[in-house]
Chain A
Amino acid sequence: MPAVQDTIDRVRKIDVDQYKYGFQTEIAVDKAPKGLSEDIIRFISAKKDEPSWMLEWRLEAYRRWLTLEEPTWARVHYPKIDFQDIYYYAAPKSTPGPSSLSDVDPELLKVYEKLGIPLREQEILAGVQKTDASELEEPSDNVYKSGRVAVDAVFDSVSVVTTFKKELAQAGVIFCSISEAIREHPELVQKYLGSVVPTSDNFYATLNSAVFTDGSFVFVPKGVRCPMELSTYFRMNEKNTGQFERTLIIAEEGAYVSYLEGCTAPQRDENQLHAAVVELVALDDAEIKYSTVQNWYPGDAEGKGGIYNFVTKRGDCRGDRSKISWTQVETGSAITWKYPSCILRGDDSSGEFYSIAVSNGYQQVDSGTKMIHLGKNTSSRIISKGIAAGFSQNTYRGQVSAHRKATNARNFTNCDSLLIGDQCGAHTVPYMEAKNSTAQFEHEATTSKISEDQKFYVMQRGIPEEEAIALIVNGFVKDVIQQLPMEFAVEAQKLIGISLEGSVG
């Protein structure tokens, strides 16, 4: 089949060339020795200047981890990971807790510039406001101006800089790296850390609990609507390191926050491990919107290299009428193993999951969600769009369950898959468990290729085939893109275009 050969050639070409974040930066780093032991954990904890309770917490998780086995139920295949062959701590040397951007290694700033994350401009912008004392006193309208994004940049194991901190503080919002939060706000961290994803949760979450090095911490107090979008950019740079970040977001009664994360990594032949944990807590009437654009290095055309993305993300709608919404655009990683979930504990709480997973080359995606209905009158909605091309395998795996007391639980699930090429696979594995007769669950799934009629219709209007496909695919994923904050929606649309380029057979 010549068409298929053509596809393979094109896919091969793009997979090597199109990953534009594949560069590597020479930055002096401070590394812990390779391998994992109690000593390494003590080393990490000491480096972070952590209180003793935190070290104990980590050690307990480590001891637990030693008793666990790697999960094998997902539809992903990879050689066994040698957990002793990984650096668990790598920090850019020149930045022992930068107080301002001027302390930050210029090499590092260059990295973020290359990534298109304008830390400096924003810092300058913030700096201008800082000099004006009068504006600092009262939370001016400026603070509530939309369109700006506060950024926390995480480089390998540590958070290098967080912008807009002062402005956020005026509104009462705490946005900082988790290491800082452990030092500055131990009472909040102690109260909430591990309360959604306990240390014993699963193999990778437990590993993360033992060795997590940084991540973001967000606390939005009662009644506060966070004045700007918060975001974190994760960058893996060092060879042989694992990235283990931990994010904790708390929205108190009536609070609202929208948070987005983006990730990239250099192009390497070996596989790198990324095992993050994200915990969200929403109290009464609170709302958290969490968006991800994941673009870790997916490996080359032969499937060599790339990131293993084994992530545990879970939100707890702890309060009544609370709401948590997950939106994800997954285009990167050699292997994705990720199930952002919602525990709908509060009465009338609701959870949402919108996902686009695009896989090309030899990528393997096993992703989905869990909606656990515990409270009364809870509702959840799942929209998942999987697009498989090249030799990739794309699996949706999701669970919806209503417990005995979850009266009037309501769920709607829709997962559609699109196949491009005949060497890839698309799989749907939903689990529905109803233990309450008033529960109402609906699930529908379809799998098909792009209809020839649709393609013909678009091409007939003079649009070339590849663009026609991108157009149809973007229409296919529209429901999800609409859920993303504006800035990311544009990025996500482009990303999908790039990921699929050359996949037309």
Chain B
Amino acid sequence: MNMHTQPQRTPAETALIDAFGDRLSLLPGDGAVMLKRDDAIEAIKHGLPTRRVESWHYTDLRRLLSVVPDFDPAAMAKAIAPIVEGSAVLPVLNGKSDAKVPAIEGVAVQCLSEKLIDGSIAPGLDPYGSDDAIGALNTAFVADGYFVDIADGAELEKPIELQNVQAGGQTHVRLAVRVGAGAKAVIVERQAGDGAALVSSVSQLVLGEGAEVTWLIVQEQPDTATHLAQFKAHIGKNAKLTLFVMNAGGKLVRQEVMVKTTGEGADFKLRGINLLAGDTHSDVTMVLDHAVPHTTSTEVIRNVVTGKARGVFQGRINVHQYAQKTNAKMACNTLLLSDDGEFSTKPELEIFADDVVCGHGATVTEIDHDHLFYLMARGVDEKSARGLLVKAFVAEVIEELDDETIVEALEARLDEWFVTHG
């Protein structure tokens, strides 16, 4: 799967390449980092991926990314209230992180620009393949973010909220988190703003032995923003990662989830809800590598499509040859509520080990008429009945999270979406 060489550059491609030339002197990084940036922009010069690139089959980035806004140094974004009260907030405002964040016990926080300048982050900047356009875009332009190191055995009482707030222009952010052995944490990745920005955000997470992390991605960009995000994680021995993704905004959204189990006994849970309205194009793409024996994973994705929205879910489970006794299950359910909307899904299994149990299921349908009838027979009007059913469909996934405060916070976000999108 190589990116095809394009005969002519689109305005967006030209704008990105020109912007790189203009910004080069302002981008932080030592020699190694700058070399990675050069490689990354070379990849973009070969053209953004089209639908001919298999992993971008349903999201033709070259066609969809029509406009790239200029960098806007005057844009001022403000930190927002965290979704869980009392969280330690680490804000990145219009691509710039705050050097004076409050101290959190057991956690060392550094601005990512420092890690770029000393070059210690360079090895993590490589895109994972020739079709990794988000990785390349971010590596070329990333200027700041955070590096968070949670000490071995630390058990955080309050969530850490990593906020990436934009007010227009372009922001390219990287959030790197290392969780020490036996540590426990809840991390919220908040993606929001109010401008017609181009956002690229890459999160990297490494879980040490026995660590337990719940990571929530709450994406509520305005319907003018382009949001290209990537979440990469390595799950160590007996470590547990629960990833919750709530996608509820943006004009063009691609959220990639790249997870690898690297130690026996690792467990991964993905729960996702995609709420699509207007004429958004929203793509969630997951690649899960079961690389060692005795690891487990379950993924449940629920989608609601209204208006003229186009939704995509691609989920691939790779079971490597020696990853015997893998147990992996994936489900993707979609409620398609509008004739103008569409949803495409591609759940893949790639299995090279024989002693495994893997399965996936996918459905696309509208609201069950029997359920609707049941409610309406009890005097609930059709609109409210539909609302109830749709909400129940997605809320089910949220309720699976154990932590009550988080469930409540997410349900509040959900309610807000239903209020604005009827």
Identify the A interface with B (CB < 8 A).
73, 404, 417, 419-449
Q: Are A422 and B358 in contact (CB under 8 A)?
A: no
Q: A404-B339, A422-B324, A441-B364 are known contacts. Are A434 and B334 too (CB-CB below 8 A)?
A: yes
Tell me the bound Cα distance from A319 to B57 in angstroms: 31
| Chain B residues whose C-beta falls within 8 Å of the C-beta of A417 in the assembled complex | 349, 351
Q: Are A432 and B349 in contact (CB under 8 A)?
A: no
Q: Are B358 and A448 in contact (CB under 8 A)?
A: yes
Tell me the bound Cα distance from A57 to B5 in angstroms: 33
Tell me the bound Cα distance from A421 to B343 in angstroms: 37
Q: Are A435 and B365 in contact (CB under 8 A)?
A: no
Q: Chain A's interface: helix, strand, loop or mixed, by majority?
A: strand
- The closest CB in chain B to the CB of A418 belongs to B354
Q: A422-B321, A440-B365 are known contacts. Are A445 and B349 too (CB-CB below 8 A)?
A: yes
| Chain A residues whose C-beta falls within 8 Å of the C-beta of B342 in the assembled complex | 433-435
Q: A437-B339, A446-B359, A448-B357 are known contacts. Are A431 and B351 too (CB-CB below 8 A)?
A: no
Q: Are A432 and B345 in contact (CB under 8 A)?
A: yes
Q: Does B32 contact A (CB under 8 A)?
A: no
CB distance from B120 to the nearest CB of A (A): 38
CB distance from B291 to the nearest CB of A (A): 15
Q: Does B355 contact A (CB under 8 A)?
A: yes
21 contacting pairs across A/B (C-beta < 8 A): A417-B349, A420-B354, A422-B355, A427-B349, A427-B351, A428-B360, A429-B346, A430-B346, A432-B345, A432-B362, A433-B344, A434-B344, A437-B366, A439-B364, A441-B363, A443-B360, A443-B361, A445-B360, A446-B359, A447-B356, A449-B356
- The closest CB in chain A to the CB of B361 belongs to A444
Q: A422-B354, A446-B358, A448-B356 are known contacts. Are A439 and B347 too (CB-CB below 8 A)?
A: no
CB distance from B348 to the nearest CB of A (A): 5
Q: Are B348 and A429 in contact (CB under 8 A)?
A: yes
CB distance from A388 to the nearest CB of B (A): 9
6 cross-chain pairs, A with B, having the tightest CB-CB distances, nearest first: A419-B354, A446-B359, A434-B364, A428-B349, A435-B342, A443-B362
Q: Which of B343, B347, B352 contacts A425 (CB 8 A)?
A: B352
**Cβ contacts B29-57/A at 8 Å (1 or 0 each):** 00000000000000000000000001001
Q: Assign chain B's interface to a size class.
A: 35 or more
Q: Chain B's interface: helix, strand, loop or mixed, by majority?
A: strand
Q: Does B88 contact A (CB under 8 A)?
A: no
Tell me the bound Cα distance from A421 to B352 in angstroms: 10
Q: Are B359 and A438 in contact (CB under 8 A)?
A: no
Q: A421-B354, A440-B364 are known contacts. Are A447 and B359 too (CB-CB below 8 A)?
A: yes
**Cβ contacts B96-107/A at 8 Å (1 or 0 each):** 000000000000
Q: Are B347 and A430 in contact (CB under 8 A)?
A: yes
Q: Are A434 and B343 in contact (CB under 8 A)?
A: yes
- The closest CB in chain B to the CB of A416 belongs to B359
Q: Which of B337, B341, B343, B362 contacts A430 (CB 8 A)?
A: B362
Q: Which of A422, A428, A437 contacts B338 (CB 8 A)?
A: A437
Q: Which of A425, A434, A437, A444 contacts B350 (CB 8 A)?
A: A425
CB distance from A402 to the nearest CB of B (A): 8
Tell me the bound Cα distance from A445 to B330 in angstroms: 10
CB distance from A415 to the nearest CB of B (A): 9
Q: Are B337 and A424 in contact (CB under 8 A)?
A: no
Q: Which residue among B343, B349, B361, B366 has the maximum number of chain A CB atoms within 10 Å of its CB? A: B349
Q: Which of A434, A440, A441, A449 contacts B354 (CB 8 A)?
A: A449
| Chain B residues whose C-beta falls within 8 Å of the C-beta of A448 in the assembled complex | 356-358
| Inter-chain pairs besides A425-B351, A427-B350, 13 sampled, C-beta below 8 Å | A423-B321, A432-B362, A434-B334, A434-B364, A435-B341, A440-B365, A441-B363, A441-B364, A442-B361, A443-B361, A445-B360, A446-B359, A448-B356
| Chain A residues whose C-beta falls within 8 Å of the C-beta of B54 in the assembled complex | 73
Q: Are A437 and B348 in contact (CB under 8 A)?
A: no
Q: A420-B354, A421-B354 are known contacts. Are A426 and B344 too (CB-CB below 8 A)?
A: no
**Cβ contacts B323-339/A at 8 Å (1 or 0 each):** 01000000000101111
Q: Which residue among A419, A432, A442, A448 has the maximum number of chain B CB atoms within 10 Å of its CB? A: A432
Q: Does B3 contact A (CB under 8 A)?
A: no
Tell me the bound Cα distance from A292 to B54 in angstroms: 30
Tell me the bound Cα distance from A423 to B324 in angstroms: 12
Q: Does B397 contact A (CB under 8 A)?
A: no
| Chain A residues whose C-beta falls within 8 Å of the C-beta of B57 in the assembled complex | 431
Q: Are B348 and A427 in contact (CB under 8 A)?
A: yes
Q: Are A426 and B359 in contact (CB under 8 A)?
A: no
Tell me the bound Cα distance from A440 to B364 in angstroms: 6
Q: Does B353 contact A (CB under 8 A)?
A: yes
Tell me the bound Cα distance from A432 to B321 in angstroms: 28
Q: Are A443 and B356 in contact (CB under 8 A)?
A: no
| Chain B residues whose C-beta falls within 8 Å of the C-beta of A425 in the assembled complex | 350-352
Q: Which residue among B334, B338, B342, B354 has the maximum number of chain A CB atoms within 10 Å of its CB? A: B354
Q: Are B358 and A447 in contact (CB under 8 A)?
A: yes
| Chain A residues whose C-beta falls within 8 Å of the C-beta of B341 in the assembled complex | 435, 437
Tell me the bound Cα distance from A286 to B352 in angstroms: 42
| Chain B residues whose C-beta falls within 8 Å of the C-beta of A428 in the assembled complex | 347-349, 360
Q: Are A444 and B359 in contact (CB under 8 A)?
A: yes
- The closest CB in chain A to the CB of B343 belongs to A434
- The closest CB in chain B to the CB of A436 belongs to B339
Q: Are B358 and A431 in contact (CB under 8 A)?
A: no
| Chain B residues whose C-beta falls within 8 Å of the C-beta of A422 in the assembled complex | 321, 324, 353-355
CB distance from B415 to the nearest CB of A (A): 24
Q: Are A447 and B344 in contact (CB under 8 A)?
A: no
Tell me the bound Cα distance from A404 to B54 in angstroms: 24
Q: A422-B355, A434-B344, A436-B339 are known contacts. Are A444 and B364 too (CB-CB below 8 A)?
A: no
CB distance from A147 to the nearest CB of B (A): 41
- The closest CB in chain A to the CB of B334 belongs to A434
Tell me the bound Cα distance from A73 to B54 in angstroms: 8
Tell me the bound Cα distance from A492 to B57 in angstroms: 36
- The closest CB in chain A to the CB of B316 belongs to A429
| Chain B residues whose C-beta falls within 8 Å of the C-beta of A440 in the assembled complex | 363-366
Tell me the bound Cα distance from A200 to B274 in angstroms: 38
Tell me the bound Cα distance from A422 to B351 in angstroms: 10
Tell me the bound Cα distance from A417 to B336 in angstroms: 29
| Chain B residues whose C-beta falls within 8 Å of the C-beta of A431 in the assembled complex | 57, 344-346
| Chain A residues whose C-beta falls within 8 Å of the C-beta of B352 in the assembled complex | 424-425
| Chain B residues whose C-beta falls within 8 Å of the C-beta of A444 in the assembled complex | 359-362
CB distance from A429 to the nearest CB of B (A): 5
Tell me the bound Cα distance from A420 to B353 in angstroms: 9
Tell me the bound Cα distance from A387 to B296 in angstroms: 24
Q: Are A434 and B349 in contact (CB under 8 A)?
A: no
CB distance from B413 to the nearest CB of A (A): 25
| Chain B residues whose C-beta falls within 8 Å of the C-beta of A449 in the assembled complex | 354-356
Q: Are B363 and A442 in contact (CB under 8 A)?
A: yes
| Chain A residues whose C-beta falls within 8 Å of the C-beta of B334 in the assembled complex | 434
